[in-house]
Structure 1
Amino acid sequence: MIRMAPRFRLYRDRHKPFYYSLIIFSILALTTYIYLTFNITKLTEEKFVSYSYQDLDSETQHTFYKGCLDIKSYLNDASYRKSNASFVMLARNQELDDVLSTLCDIESHFNQWYHYPYVFLNDEPFTEEFKQRVRQNVTGSVQFGTLKELEWEFPNEVRETIEFTERIKDQADRGVMYGDLESYHKMCRFYSGLFYKHPLVRAYDWYWRIEPDVKFFCDITYDPFFEMERNGKEYGFTVVLQELYWSVPGLFRATRSYIRNNKIKLGSLWKLFAGSFEYAQTNDKYLEKTVLDEKLLKEKLEEKIKIDRLLQKTQKDDVDLNNKDDIGGLNHLINRAQSKVPIFDDKIDNEVFNLCHFWSNFEIAKRTVFDNPIYDEYFKHLEASGGFWKERWGDAPVHSLGLALTLDIEQIHYFRDIGYQHSTIVHCPKNAPQELQLPYIAGYDKFSKKDSKYYDPPFNVGSGCRCECPSRHLDIEDTSYPCMDFWLELAHGIEENTNFGDGEYFPYVDLDQREEEMKNEFYSNV
């Protein structure tokens, strides 16, 4: 299985005592915020445990711009061109207040300068009040669309069965989050494979998905659509985290069957979501199935070397039961005879789903990452399996696995500089150094903002522009284990135990060669 790379694990583990001491001191003194503000440089020099206090950029994965840009100069640059893009929001009439809250944030932090249009979708017609209030609060054009019954409802041959009702009830009985809400199942299905087919969405090359009642905390002074296109990126995220297992127990199996049946050549993004069991290359079938990481490699090879030596001495009738190595070899032989090859219930095609996924309530993406034959057929395959109602497959893990069918890691962008909150999950970056901050200039009087003294303090490796983060928030960067670790390993090209060529995993370690090395060391010490 993939493990966190040493350089990042070191930062997390080495400073745990310091971290806990700091928390205790801060609670006693009631000065957590002040302490962090005035000791920020010291924490950086010591490589503080939290990812949110580190510079995570790599050569291929880095923030487009740190801090603020002069928007007027950016817009007037001869190389700049506005993209064929829009915001997309699925909303209900009764969510108007939450919709307006989101629009206030996205307009004041970005769209008041760039005026991108909006597409609003609903399973029933929007009211005139909804349309009027939305138009009054945005600076771009607005289109309102109503979903057809086939886009929103499950097919009749499914919807009218007793099994459909019973499966939904069963998820409620088992406590699957949102599993008892038909509307949630419909929403996940719609966003998984139908939203990009809507004519209003299909009119654009790029989209930025937003939701009712989300928060944005930093100014975005560049055009994300333009920068994505210019830098060869096709999908952007702000949060990567793990899904609840019991909402998607059959999703990975259905995905692997689609890959196998259609001989899909996977993109390297697949490594972010699937752990490979193909760690070691060897002719020894027992070791091939039991050696899954470096720790087991050393343990199992040491066992094998001692067993082989014991058997050699047995043939020569030279076994000495007073010799600790001979006794050790005998014990290893007995243990191996009694041991069983480990069974992994969720292992499929020698892989397991690690449950990591991009949180799709924020997406900035090229429409064709989904609107293409491979993803279209993938959605049809999932639909036929019934997982959108038999289980509670969310559009986020479906999107993530679906993206990995075609994209490489280099085509993904982490919008680390965009502060974002949905529900209780928060990502809010540290502000870039003071010299990279610029005075706020509103595009419209109604967007005038607080004095700069209310902005968060600058940080030497920060990336944000004029961020105002929630007080004492716990950033998802620091709690999304192990997904953030996996992302950083791939971003920095330091995966520990998996190679990936021509869309397939291949073993990382030549076990026979490692055995020879360990055997030479072992015999030199005997």
Structure 2
Amino acid sequence: MTLVPVDSVAPIRNQSFTPPTPLVKGVIVMLARNTDADGAAKSITELEKRFNGRWRYPYVFLNELPFDDNFKNKLQAVNPSADMKFGLIPVVHWSYPSWINQTRAAAARKAMHEAKIIYGGHEAYRHMCRYNSGFFYRHELLDEYDYYWRVEPDVHFYCDIDEDPFRFMQENNKLYGFTVSLTEFRATIPTLWETTRAFMTENPSYIRTEDNAVRWISKDLKDYNLCHFWSNFEIGSLHLWRSKAYEGYFEHLDHAGGFFYERWGDAPVHSIGATLLLKPSQIHFFNNIGYDHTGINHCPIDQPAFANKCQCNGLKNFDMTDWSCTPEWFDLFGDTSFVFLNNICCPS
């Protein structure tokens, strides 16, 4: 992995503003459409209130079509002094590659729709998953940055964030951060693990053979337990995805065709890639960031410490459900605060 020196800081963009701590080369990224203007503005309004109004990290919004004035105006109105850029996704990154049989892909969508598989019939959803898996970090508007924070329309941030997550990642050699984990629908990725194992066999030098995090997703490498980090929230190193190892992994998956012939999501793809390439210590659980997307949420576990900073209940969050994989993460890699609350919440 290409690591970023701790003293790599962002240039000063506004001489009249001084953030609480020096900014690193971080950016907040949102993939959105013009119809998402209201939801996007709500998300950014909350993030500005909880964090970025004090730090003023730049925003990059990406769309496969040009953003209209309504979208731009609504987002700029959230904070007229915010540094916002609106980018167009290259057609080559949001279209079928030459090796994909589009008739076969259409038949797969039809079959999955009839089987009532979530997003099974959605063509645009597949392009979105492929784009987030292997292209967003290549956009020219992100070239100058080392870290990104992925935000989506219509998400909620429940807690004041007093520490800069980007600087925390940099100073502690963290390359991927999450708040929520859960299991994937197996019907959406029937051959993803088989394809991953083929990549591992063909490219052993790319895989971290010792002290990796892969045992969180597979005990013996024979099967995938479906656990993944929910990628609608990510804070990570752009250098992780730009690495030769991950680029090779994505290219292998892309040529296999599962983004279109099945319905591979970027969440399991990112999660498998991160756990194969990183040490557990390079993956961080952002307990201090209260977050919600479509009713699936995380609220800080050590609730007393956040009593005056959060508007959520730490004893009622997705981490404590049977669908969460976060308890398994801490069983493997340790965190006493999580184990303590789990015992309070759900005694055996």
TM range (shorter): 0.7 to 0.9
Amino acid at match of 1:372: S
Report the counterpart of residue 207 of structure 1 in structure 2.
148
Work out which of the residue numbers 202, 213, 217 in structure 2 matches 1:269: 213
Report the counterpart of residue 128 of structure 2 in structure 1.
187
Distance apart, 1:493 and its partner CA: 8.9
- Give the alignment's TM-score, normalised by structure 2: 0.86
Distance apart, 1:196 and its partner CA: 0.6
Partner SS state of residue 145, structure 2 = coil
CA distance in 2 between partners of 1:265 and 1:465 (Å): 43
Whether the 8 Å CA contact 1:426–1:473 is kept in 2: the answer is: no
Distance apart, 1:405 and its partner CA: 2.4
CA distance in 1 between partners of 2:148 and 2:311 (Å): 26
CA distance in 1 between partners of 2:306 and 2:333 (Å): 17
The answer to whether structure 1 residue 112 and structure 2 residue 56 are counterparts is: no
Within a 5 Å distance, the mapping from 1:328-477 to structure 2 comes to 351-429=222-300, 432=303, 459=304, 462-463=305-306, 466-469=309-312, 474-477=316-319
Amino acid at match of 1:390: Y
CA distance in 2 between partners of 1:157 and 1:373 (Å): 22
Distance apart, 1:202 and its partner CA: 2.3
CA distance 1:173–1:103, shift in 2 (3 Å): same
Work out which of the residue numbers 154, 161, 167 in structure 2 matches 1:226: 167
CA distance in 1 between partners of 2:177 and 2:88 (Å): 27
CA distance in 2 between partners of 1:214 and 1:158 (Å): 33
Amino acid at match of 1:406: L
| Percent of aligned pairs with the same amino acid | 38
Distance apart, 1:474 and its partner CA: 3.5
CA distance in 2 between partners of 1:397 and 1:128 (Å): 35
Amino acid at match of 2:294: S
CA distance in 1 between partners of 2:326 and 2:139 (Å): 33
Amino acid at match of 2:131: F
Whether the 8 Å CA contact 1:218–1:464 is kept in 2: the answer is: no
Structure number with greater CO (CA < 8 Å, separation at least 6) is 1
Amino acid at match of 1:242: T
The one-character-per-residue Cα deviations of 1:249-294 (angstroms, maximum 9, x if unpaired) are 1111111110111113325111111122xxxxxxxxxxxxxxxxxx
Amino acid at match of 2:43: T
Work out which of the residue numbers 486, 492, 496 in structure 1 matches 2:328: 486
CA distance 1:155–1:265, shift in 2 (3 Å): closer
Distance apart, 1:211 and its partner CA: 0.1
Higher-Rg member (1/2): 1
CA distance 1:493–1:122, shift in 2 (3 Å): closer
Within a 5 Å distance, the mapping from 1:162-181 to structure 2 comes to 162-181=103-122
Partner SS state of residue 112, structure 1 = helix
CA distance in 2 between partners of 1:411 and 1:430 (Å): 21
Report the counterpart of residue 150 of structure 1 in structure 2.
92
CA distance in 2 between partners of 1:476 and 1:134 (Å): 30
CA distance in 2 between partners of 1:464 and 1:416 (Å): 14
CA distance 1:227–1:482, shift in 2 (3 Å): closer
Work out which of the residue numbers 253, 270, 277 in structure 1 matches 2:194: 253
The one-character-per-residue Cα deviations of 1:13-66 (angstroms, maximum 9, x if unpaired) are xxxxxxxxxxxxxxxxxxxxxxxxxxxxxxxxxxxxxxxxxxxxxxxxxxxxxx
Distance apart, 1:140 and its partner CA: 2.5
Work out which of the residue numbers 83, 90, 109 in structure 2 matches 1:141: 83
Report the counterpart of residue 15 of structure 2 in structure 1.
none
Partner SS state of residue 260, structure 2 = helix
Whether the 8 Å CA contact 1:430–1:467 is kept in 2: the answer is: no
Amino acid at match of 1:352: D
Find runs of 4+ consecutive structure 1 residues off by over 3 angstroms: 462-465
Partner SS state of residue 28, structure 2 = strand
Partner SS state of residue 169, structure 2 = helix
Distance apart, 1:86 and its partner CA: 0.7
Whether the 8 Å CA contact 1:417–1:464 is kept in 2: the answer is: no
Give unpaired runs (5+ residues) of structure 2. 1-17, 337-348
Amino acid at match of 2:96: F
- Give the alignment's TM-score, normalised by structure 1: 0.57
The answer to whether structure 1 residue 98 and structure 2 residue 39 are counterparts is: yes
CA distance 1:240–1:222, shift in 2 (3 Å): same
CA distance in 1 between partners of 2:40 and 2:268 (Å): 25
Distance apart, 1:221 and its partner CA: 1.1
CA distance 1:187–1:473, shift in 2 (3 Å): farther
Distance apart, 1:164 and its partner CA: 1.7
CA distance in 2 between partners of 1:493 and 1:221 (Å): 21
Distance apart, 1:464 and its partner CA: 6.3
Give unpaired runs (5+ residues) of structure 1. 1-73, 277-349, 433-458, 495-526
CA distance in 2 between partners of 1:492 and 1:96 (Å): 40
Whether the 8 Å CA contact 1:418–1:464 is kept in 2: the answer is: no
Partner SS state of residue 268, structure 1 = coil
Partner SS state of residue 275, structure 1 = coil
CA distance in 2 between partners of 1:271 and 1:229 (Å): 25
The answer to whether structure 1 residue 85 and structure 2 residue 26 are counterparts is: yes
Amino acid at match of 2:216: L
Instruction: Figure out how many residues of one structure are paired with residues of the other and give that number.
Output: 315
